[in-house]
């Protein structure tokens, strides 16, 4: 286990402040994105003890469920920091899982740290590629996962559909029991569901030209 201060000391503080300033300067919705990043770091780490320029972990960005860091000690991987709802990680919690609401509609639900690990395990089994466990921060305040970094670009939607169909997944785009805002990127194979299959959650590898899922929400219902 890492204390919030121990992890903070390994984070490049100036790069983080520069990223927050850059997002804020873009205006519009980006100001909110900057606020979310700031809140995630403030709530999960000890801001006062952030490391110097060139420290091991450099901010890459903040996206739906996680804050991303490059690891200067191991350039082959990227770190994902997930955390508590009240610390800016919102209703994703430690990572969304899937569940049905009162009307029987399938949608996202906040996941606990245990469920985040369970989701990673299921993703490895169902997709063959996911994250490794790295560490936990504090007394369950943050979860660090590591993933092989794939040099490449976003695939197209037809390429993503081709990948999913090739591996036996069935589209839920016309399913009546999936929230309409989610069903365009929702798939099922047996009782396992894979949601959020959009361009930002796949990488087309420069090395072999193949498509790899990097952050789907995989859950058994």
Partner 1 sequence: MSFDPSKIQLPPPDAELRLPPPNVRELSAEEKYQQVRRHLKDDESSADKMSVQMKTQVRLTHAHTSTVRAAG
Q: Which residues bind partner 1 (CB under 8 A)?
A: 1, 26, 28-30, 32-33, 36, 39, 58-65, 68, 70, 72, 75-76, 78, 85-86, 88-92, 113-115, 117-118, 120-121, 124-125, 127-133, 135-136, 140, 148-154, 198-201, 203, 205-208, 210, 212
Q: How far is the CB of 176 from partner 1 (least distance, A)?
A: 23
5 vs 68 by CB, closer to partner 1: 68
Question: 183: closest CA among 169, 172, 170, 194?
Answer: 172
106 vs 150 by CB, closer to partner 1: 150
Q: Which helix (H) or strand (E) holds 23?
A: helix 13-26
Q: How far is the CB of 72 from partner 1 (least distance, A)?
A: 6
Token output for 23 = 């997002």
Q: How far is the CB of 121 from partner 1 (least distance, A)?
A: 6
What share of residues in the chain are helix, strand, coil (percent, to 5)?
Answer: 35, 30, 35
> What is the longest distance spanned by two Cα atoms in the chain?
52
10 vs 201 by CB, closer to partner 1: 201
Q: How far is the CB of 145 from partner 1 (least distance, A)?
A: 8
Region of 61 on the Ramachandran plot (φ > 0 left; ψ -120 to 50 alpha; else beta): left
Using DSSP's 3-state secondary structure scheme, residue 215 falls into: coil
86 vs 170 by CB, closer to partner 1: 86
5 vs 36 by CB, closer to partner 1: 36
d(CA 219, CA 91): 17
8 vs 197 by CB, closer to partner 1: 197
Q: How far is the CB of 49 from partner 1 (least distance, A)?
A: 21
Q: How far is the CB of 159 from partner 1 (least distance, A)?
A: 15
Using DSSP's 3-state secondary structure scheme, residue 82 falls into: strand
Using DSSP's 3-state secondary structure scheme, residue 71 falls into: strand
Q: How far apart are the first and last CA of the chain?
A: 32
């Amino acid at each position: 286990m890492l204390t919030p201060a121990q992890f903070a000391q390994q984070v490049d503080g100036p790069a983080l402040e520069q990223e927050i300033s850059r997002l804020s300067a873009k205006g519009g919705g980006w100001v909110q994105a900057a606020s979310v990043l700031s809140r995630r770091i403030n709530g999960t780490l000890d801001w006062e003890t952030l490391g110097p320029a060139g420290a091991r972990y450099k901010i890459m960005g903040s996206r739906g469920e996680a804050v991303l860091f490059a690891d200067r000690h191991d350039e082959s991987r990227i770190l994902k920091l997930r955390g508590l709802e009240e610390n800016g990680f919102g209703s994703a919690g430690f990572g969304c899982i899937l569940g049905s609401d009162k009307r029987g509609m399938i949608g996202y639900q906040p996941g606990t740290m245990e469920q985040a690990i369970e989701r990673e395990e299921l993703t490895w089994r169902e997709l063959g590629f996911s994250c490794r466990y790295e560490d936990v921060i504090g007394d369950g305040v943050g979860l660090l996962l590591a993933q092989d970094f794939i040099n490449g670009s976003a695939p197209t939607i037809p390429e993503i559909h081709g990948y999913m169909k090739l591996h036996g997944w069935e589209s839920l785009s016309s399913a009546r029991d999936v929230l309409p805002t989610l069903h365009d990127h929702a798939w099922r194979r047996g009782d396992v569901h894979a949601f959020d299959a959009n361009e930002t959650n796949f990488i087309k590898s420069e090395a072999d030209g193949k498509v790899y899922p990097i952050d789907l929400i995989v859950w058994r219902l």
